[in-house]
A and B are shown apart, each in its own frame.
Chain A
Amino acid sequence: RKEVEQDPGPFNVPEGATVAFNCTYSNSASQSFFWYRQDCRKEPKLLMSVYSSGNEDGRFTAQLNRASQYISLLIRDSKLSDSATYLCVVNLGPTSGTYKYIFGTGTRLKVLA
């Protein structure tokens, strides 16, 4: 089983739709969680951190469920510019005194006009 798994998609949704992605992780000792966005042939960009209490940033809402070991990202009122690959990242906690950040497989989103 991979350490961090996502449905690769693609998710094709019309503009204005609400779309949700899930990400599961296998290591229960994982300490922190993030969502990144990556456009084609570009570097990943940090979208938001994910907190146990849930957090929102504009149209984006992230949730963490430690008991079931998954995180989610909800995008409301999708825009064409939201088309990208969304990667969840899990911090496995200190290894040799350093954080180890592991990427999920990524979910591709296409927002259609």
Chain B
Amino acid sequence: DTEVTQTPKHLVMGMTNKKSLKCEQHMGHRAMYWYKQKAKKPPELMFVYSYEKLSINESVPSRFSPECPNSSLLNLHLHALQPEDSALYLCASSQDSAGTGGKLEYFGAGTRLSVL
């Protein structure tokens, strides 16, 4: 099963809501990534988990809270978001977190988030 599954595909939320994005992979990959992509811009790295531990946080505001409950699952908890947080949120995984020859091979289809 060579895929990364993200749910939901679309999400509309108000600025006071709390919601969560989910990402799942069953390829045994030990590194998982969250990226944010605004329209006509490249994906921007948010967080990286390696062996279920947060290893990179790219100075993301605390209204975004990542969680990695197990090696197959990655969540992104959202609270008190702003309209400018509306974007496509992409999850990706790679086999090796820091060995040689790693590559970011698989992306999920993303969650398209609109904050009203």
Residues of A within 8 A of B (CB): 32, 34, 41-46, 49, 87, 89, 91, 94-106
Contact = CB atoms under 8 A, between A and B. Distances in A.
Contacts of B90: 43-44
B21 interface: no
B42 A105 contact: yes
Interface residues of B, number: 27
B56 interface: yes
A43 B104 contact: no
B69 interface: no
A103 B90 CA distance: 13
Interface string B66-109: 00000000000000000000001010001011100111110111
Nearest to A104: B42
A42 B103 CA distance: 19
B45 A43 contact: no
Contacts of A49: 103
Nearest to B54: A96
A43 B102 contact: no
Given A42-B109, A103-B42, A106-B42, A98 B103 contact: no
Contacts of B41: 105
Contact of B104 (A95, A101, A105): A101
Contacts of A41: 88
19 contacts: A34-B103, A43-B90, A43-B107, A45-B107, A46-B103, A87-B43, A89-B104, A95-B56, A96-B50, A96-B55, A97-B98, A98-B31, A99-B31, A99-B48, A99-B102, A100-B48, A101-B33, A101-B94, A106-B42
